[in-house]
Chains A and B, each alone.
Chain A
């Protein structure tokens, strides 16, 4: 049985970050990365762009063979971890081999939530989170004309898939249970602006609805919604959410899990020598001053990097993360970070500043507590968003300039002298 100093279960953003982090402190310690998908690390968010443009395949690579070779990392591609013995520090793999480790990083990511729907066990029903999913869907939509796709879920994955499909000439219908799309990342006013762009592009949208039954014999021919509406469909994409993958550790008595793998600010789990990062981990979120899964690419990469630094003898706290999303839908730029809406239990502690210019498709909302920005949504004039996210992280009291936050040129120049000088020249 081979033994490595560092083993990483996973080979996406968190794994890549971790490899780079480990090599900051440890140039030679052996590293093994185990990838369930049979390919080098790729940019998962690009899969929706592949639907419309086959050439995207060439741009999708995140790190290739040269990276792993240069960092002296062994990779097993297309291999699954079947069991993990955290006391013996060994893993049993799908290729019948076992591997041992000194330090382990759990970077298995998330998996799509698959709802129980009558008739969902048919060809043409799929989730949409991997390159293989995108290949399958693209093949399906390019092999025939008059394709119709119904997407269950109007979140980021659902809408980006819809955007890619619409660009490819497919007739798309989105069915969303909530009263507006993108509920985790936008409020109602901003979500309506995004919905309008999709509807203007010919997308059908059903809000406050879900799919009751998927129809067809062995292959999808349509769906029935919970209000009786019938829709034709060649494909049904289930995109109602992603959650941390915990199946490997569900039965573990030692590894503490909650909604995800529980970690501290150093990304250490409850088990000695075991770390977790990326979509699978419940990381520290500085806005809520608590821990929760943050299933976004930047958190995976940088969290992985800090985990790698700590696994290799460093001592770095990871307090950078919060929800942060940026997406462009057919030219409409949207960003959000932190709180999307005022917390229900104590709304009186928060102040909300909004700015809405419908004719320019501009909308901004800031949530503040004691002058500190705890949440931000911006549609269109997004340039100030980075400065503001930095100030959110600094927990700086912006009471003196809070009415300037909505200006399109808000930036360092609006900050007090010592603060802006420090920020403009920090290298």
Chain B
């Protein structure tokens, strides 16, 4: 029996792959992530809101000019964040194998930030303190960052 055999969901899962060579650092991915996760998915309404009501972008563009590329949660097969979460707020979705975050269980201890070796998790301190990370846009066929990237610096790969 192969150790750590991927579960059926993990094998079928779509993955985001980042291509730093074609990222132009425009950060539209961050803008669209914010819009997608706002209550009314309208770019003007999302950005007109007060800062504390505007969702944090769940991915972050790394910048070391001329190098730029986005980093979002990889929904790892061996998720260090989920291993480390002391409340169970980070859990593996049974249906699609993505790593989900329950804001009601989260206490903002930041253990997941210490655990994630890509730096894909951030602090959300707008009202109560909770962790913030990519949720793979549930309800969308393709995550909005991938769809809206003007230069295909993020692509979907199916195993």
Contact = CB atoms under 8 A, between A and B. Distances in A.
Interface of A: 17, 24-25, 43-46, 49, 59-63, 297-298, 301-302, 305, 309, 313-316, 324-328, 331, 333, 335, 337, 382-387, 389-390, 393, 409, 411-414, 420-421, 423-427
Contacts of B77: 427
A382 B119 contact: no
A24 B108 contact: no
B87 A59 contact: yes
A413 B64 contact: yes
A316 B4 contact: yes
B129 interface: yes
A298 B115 contact: yes
A328 B64 contact: no
A325 B112 CA distance: 10
A46 B87 contact: yes
Given A328-B129, A411-B62, A413-B69, A389 B87 contact: no
Contacts of B117: 386-387, 389-390, 393, 423
Contacts of A393: 117
Chain B at the A interface: mostly helix, strand, loop or mixed?
Answer: loop
Nearest to B10: A427
Contact of A328 (B1, B62, B110): B110
B114 interface: yes
Contacts of A45: 86-87, 109
Interface in B46-103: 62-64, 67-69, 71, 74-77, 80, 83-84, 86-88
B20 interface: yes
Contact of A297 (B86, B107, B116, B119): B86
A327 B88 contact: no
A109 B66 CA distance: 50
A43 B71 contact: no
Given A314-B1, A411-B71, A425-B18, A383 B105 contact: no
12 contacts: A43-B86, A298-B84, A305-B83, A326-B114, A335-B114, A337-B114, A383-B122, A386-B116, A411-B71, A414-B64, A424-B71, A425-B74
B90 to A, nearest CB: 11
B5 interface: yes
Given A326-B114, A424-B18, A424-B20, 11 more contacts: A45-B87, A298-B86, A313-B1, A316-B4, A326-B110, A383-B123, A386-B113, A389-B115, A412-B119, A424-B118, A425-B17
A328 B115 contact: no
Contacts, number: 137
A305 B79 CA distance: 12
Give me the 6 closest cross-chain CB pairs, A-B, nearest first: A390-B117, A298-B84, A413-B62, A386-B116, A302-B83, A413-B64
Given A43-B87, A45-B87, A383-B122, A59 B114 contact: no
A45 B86 CA distance: 7
Interface residues of B, number: 45
B27 interface: no
Given A59-B105, A301-B83, A425-B17, A333 B110 contact: yes
A393 B78 CA distance: 15
Contacts of A421: 20
B109 A328 contact: yes
Contacts of B1: 25, 313-314
B81 to A, nearest CB: 8
Given A386-B114, A413-B63, A326 B109 contact: yes
A393 B116 CA distance: 12
B72 to A, nearest CB: 10
A386 B121 contact: yes
Contacts of B63: 409, 413
A427 B74 contact: yes
Contacts of B116: 386
Interface string B16-28: 0110100000000
Contacts of B105: 59
Contacts of B71: 411-412, 424
A394 B125 CA distance: 31
Contact of B123 (A62, A333, A411, A425): A333
Contacts of B114: 324-326, 335, 337, 382, 385-386, 389
A17 B63 CA distance: 37
Contacts of A305: 83
